[in-house]
A and B are shown apart, each in its own frame.
Chain A
Amino acid sequence: GEDVEQSLFLSVREGDSSVINCTYTDSSSTYLYWYKQEPGAGLQLLTYIFSNMDMKQDQRLTVLLNKKDKHLSLRIADTQTGDSAIYFCAGGASGGSYIPTFGRGTSLIVHP
C-alpha cells in the first residue's frame, strides 16, 4: 500500500513563501492531493495534481510533482496568518477501490 511521509512542522514569517514537502511510495497513484485542516475542523481539499503533470498553479499555491523521486511539494506564496493549519499530502489511485493514504500532516505556523 501507499506510504506517505511529511515533515511535521514548518514555521515561517508572514509574507514569506512556505514550502511543504512530501514523499510517497506508490507510483500508481493517479492523483496526489493536498488537504488543509484548520483548528477544530475537518480536512478540506486544497488542490490536487494529476500524476502526468509536473506542476500546477492555483493563485498563491504551486504544486510540484517529481515522479522519478516520488516527491510532491506545496508552495504557498505570500504566506498569511490565515494559512496557519495542518497540511496533509495524500495519494490514491482512481478507479476500482479508492483509498486515499494520508501523511501525518505538516503543521504550518505563520508568525508576524
Chain B
Amino acid sequence: DSGVTQTPKHLITATGQRVTLRCSPRSGDLSVYWYQQSLDQGLQFLIQYYNGEERAKGNILERFSAQQFPDLHSELNLSSLELGDSALYFCASNPLAGGNTGELFFGEGSRLTVL
C-alpha cells in the first residue's frame, strides 16, 4: 500500500460527459502529480501541484483541469470526454517538489472508459 488513494477505481461514461477523479496523497506529501496511461502513449505526465499551486504542466488537454486543495488532496476534471480519453489515470505524490531522491508514490489508478 503506497498510501496514495484514488477514487473512483473504475468509471464508465459517455462521450461529451464530464468526470472528476480524486486523489489523496500520502500523509505529509506536498506534491501531487497526475499521469495518463494508455496503450499507445505509455505513461504521460499531465500536471503537477505543489502545496496548492500548479507547479508544472505536461501534455494536458485544455478540456482537462486540475486543482489541489488546502488539505492537499487533488482533483482532475475531464470534460467533453472523447473516446480517446479512455485510459488509466494515475495520481502520484512526493514529499517535495524536488531535492530528494525523487521517488513517486503511485495510487492504484482510476480506469476511465468512455463509450
* Contacting pair A99 B103 (CB below 8 A): no
CB distance from A7 to the nearest CB of B (A): 13
Q: Which residues of B contact A33 (CB under 8 A)?
A: 102-103
* Contacting pair A105 B42 (CB below 8 A): yes
Bound CA span A94–B94, Å: 12
The residues of A with any CB-CB pair to B shorter than 8 Å are: 30-31, 33, 35, 40-45, 48, 88, 92-105
* Interface set, chain B 24-38, CB cutoff 8 A to A: 31, 33, 35
* Contacting pair B108 A98 (CB below 8 A): no
Q: Which residues of B contact A105 (CB under 8 A)?
A: 42-43
Tell whether A44 pairs with B43 under 8 Å between CB atoms, given A97-B55, A97-B98. Answer: no
Q: In the complex, given contacts A44-B106, A88-B43, what are 6 additional A-B residue pairs having Cβ atoms less than 8 angstroms apart? A: A31-B101, A33-B102, A42-B92, A44-B2, A97-B56, A105-B42
* Contacting pair A48 B103 (CB below 8 A): yes
Q: Which residues of A contact B97 (CB under 8 A)?
A: 96-98
Q: Which residues of A contact B48 (CB under 8 A)?
A: 97, 99
Q: Which residue of chain B is the closest to A4 with respect to CB atoms? A: B42
* Contacting pair B4 A94 (CB below 8 A): no
A104 interface neighbour in B42, B103, B104, B107, Cβ under 8 Å: B42
